[in-house]
Homo-oligomer: A and B are copies of this chain.
Amino acid sequence: MHNTHTVPTAAILGAAGYTGQETLDRLLAHPELVPVALGSDSLAGQTAASLHPRLNGSLPAFVQNAEAAVSGADVIFLCLDHAASAAFSPPDGAVVVDLSGAHRLRDEDEATRWYGVAPGAWSYGLPEISPPEGRLIANPGCYATAALLALAPIRDVIDGAVIDAKSGMTGAGRSLKGSSHAGFVLENFSPYAVGAHRHAPEIAQQLGFPVTFVPHLLPVRRGLLATCYVHTDADARELLESAYAASPVVRVLPEGVTPELARVQGTDAAEIGIFTDASTGTTIVVCALDNLGKGAAGQAVQNANLALGLDETDGLVLTGVLV
């Protein structure tokens, strides 16, 4: 009885955070999916326009997340922190896309270590690599998405990888912390969680072998680029071009063209460049995407579209801004 509308409906829990807002943005451009409940414990009772002046009266006002959860929407986007997502009880029949990490890891030790939860039966939904199955979908992490788009199509011809990743600061969310203070971020650059980040086991789980992973914080608002180093005798370009030949989302760039943050910022597309090191023969696969787009909200909507049987790219931003 959750669906009492003639068009599919959506609820967003945590709608005032970065991923919640971005998910809302895509729903506003979506031809089929209608946002019917905006959950935010901090903004409950306020109009949508309190979040952004352009969100006018046609949108529902914010409600408590608990209220949004029982709105009867066909799809629920969980834009919450890990603990809140882990504690969420999916209503019968609804598609639920969890943008947190709570349901990504299947290994009990890893799930407990990184997210403090027992691993569940949610489907890991990375459409180009492992399309979502069923109605409970764990949306991949932003770093994991970039690394897996670069490496999953060649996982059978490599047995390890160094993944040096760099992300804009929105990847760390909207809550206040020292590492998000502009005095730390501006004109700065540094690695963090070196060799010990929770996206490493997520990447390893999907590839089938452990990886060396170091994330860095870029002084930009949005965008993520992963430079991946692997050894292989296979033709990585051929495998990657073949994997994404029909994709409306992932672009393999011509030889010699390098991915750039600026070309994917604000979009749900990803760019992949493939190179060979002249001195060592190491294969270098670079993937660029927007941490809030293909790395979060865009992929969440893409997963929801697939689960609901809609056009995969409905609501996605695939053209982008040229400058």
- A221: B residues at CB distance < 8 A: 182-183, 186-187, 323
- A286: B residues at CB distance < 8 A: 191, 194
- A160: B residues at CB distance < 8 A: 280
| A208 adjacent to chain B (CB < 8 Å) | no
CB-CB contacts of A236-277 with B at 8 A, as 1s and 0s?
000000000000000101100111111101100101010111
Q: Which of A22, A164, A259 has the most CB of B within 10 A?
A: A164
The residue in chain B whose Cβ has the minimal distance to the Cβ of A257 is: B53
- A262: B residues at CB distance < 8 A: 184, 187-188, 190
Task: Check if B162 sits within 8 Å of A53, measured CB to CB.
Answer: no
| A216 adjacent to chain B (CB < 8 Å) | yes
Task: Check if B210 sits within 8 Å of A279, measured CB to CB.
Answer: yes
A289 to chain B, nearest CB (A): 12
A212 to chain B, nearest CB (A): 4
| A220 adjacent to chain B (CB < 8 Å) | yes
Count the copies.
Answer: 4
Complex alpha-carbon distance, A219 and B187, angstroms: 8
A45 to chain B, nearest CB (A): 17
Task: Check if A194 sits within 8 Å of B321, measured CB to CB.
Answer: no
| A146 adjacent to chain B (CB < 8 Å) | no
Task: Check if A190 sits within 8 Å of B21, measured CB to CB.
Answer: no
| A129 adjacent to chain B (CB < 8 Å) | no
Give the residues from 182 to 226 in chain A that come closer than 8 angstroms, CB to CB, to chain B. 182-192, 194-196, 200-201, 204, 210-214, 216, 218-223, 225
Complex alpha-carbon distance, A176 and B172, angstroms: 15
Interface bin, chain A? 35 or more
| A306 adjacent to chain B (CB < 8 Å) | no
- A1: B residues at CB distance < 8 A: none
- A52: B residues at CB distance < 8 A: 263, 322
Complex alpha-carbon distance, A23 and B276, angstroms: 37
Task: Check if B204 sits within 8 Å of A279, measured CB to CB.
Answer: yes
Complex alpha-carbon distance, A191 and B66, angstroms: 36
- A100: B residues at CB distance < 8 A: none
Task: Check if A53 sits within 8 Å of B211, measured CB to CB.
Answer: no
Which residue of B51, B192, B211, B214 contacts A284 across the interface (Cβ within 8 Å)?
B214
- A182: B residues at CB distance < 8 A: 169, 180-182, 184-186, 219, 221
| A87 adjacent to chain B (CB < 8 Å) | no
| A143 adjacent to chain B (CB < 8 Å) | no
Complex alpha-carbon distance, A280 and B229, angstroms: 14
Task: Check if B260 sits within 8 Å of A189, measured CB to CB.
Answer: yes
In addition to A195-B284, A212-B280, 5 A-B residue pairs with Cβ atoms within 8 Å of each other are A53-B257, A169-B182, A186-B220, A190-B258, A212-B282
- Top 3 A-B pairs ranked by shortest CB distance? A195-B277, A182-B185, A210-B279
Q: List 9 A-B contacts (CB under 8 A).
A: A54-B320, A160-B280, A162-B229, A162-B282, A166-B189, A169-B186, A192-B258, A196-B277, A212-B282
